[in-house]
Chain A
């Protein structure tokens, strides 16, 4: 069975600082991994996805994530935070050969201070 753990329900950074949002997954088969962002009062928007090609995945808005099989991690990073990055971020996993339904983490709220 697949599962996702997002460490830290809230992450606070200063504008211009590095953003690091952590995601660890559990999967019995090679996973597909996703990061979504949810701005206030909106639905989720895909930031990036890992589909077994390059382990370093670049997404929209300057975000990227690296798939590390040995650590079962897929952490999301951005070199310099903007105020507009303040939102809820969700990591999700799907298993190849699975039910086609991704399992989502509980989300991490990113707070950006001026």
Chain B
């Protein structure tokens, strides 16, 4: 069974640019979560999508947005990049039953560097 996949692996952008990160969940999973892992800050929750809808959003500015497609894959868009957006962006998926005990399965992440 294929795990969660993310693309690209690495990305280098400059301030003010826009970036799109992609995530494919495990087959059969309908929930996708996005996290930002900045150095020394642990994981910060960004967005949760389930069945194509945004279910919850973390404490991030509106320039962080995303969507989920009918095949449950997801995109994370970041506009007007700032230096502090440099981080590892992790995507996770779960079966989407809404149970708190559901395990989240993580992808390897996309390393974004903003210069």
Contact = CB atoms under 8 A, between A and B. Distances in A.
The judgment on whether A and B are partners is yes
Contact of A100 (B55, B90, B92, B107): B55
A61 B80 CA distance: 42
A45 B107 CA distance: 9
B103 A46 contact: yes
Contact of A90 (B40, B42, B55, B56): B42
The 5 closest A-B pairs by CB, nearest first: A43-B106, A106-B42, A104-B43, A44-B106, A51-B101
Interface string A45-61: 11001010000000000
B67 to A, nearest CB: 18
Task: Determine chain B's interface SS by DSSP, over half rule.
Answer: loop
Contacts, number: 56
B4 A43 contact: yes
A90 B43 contact: yes
A19 B48 CA distance: 34
A106 B40 contact: yes
Contact of B108 (A42, A49, A95, A96): A42
B3 to A, nearest CB: 8
A44 B43 CA distance: 10
A31 to B, nearest CB: 9
Interface string B79-115: 0000000000010100000101101111111000000
Interface in A1-57: 9, 32, 36, 41-46, 49, 51
Nearest to A96: B100
Given A44-B90, A94-B100, A95-B100, A101 B108 contact: no
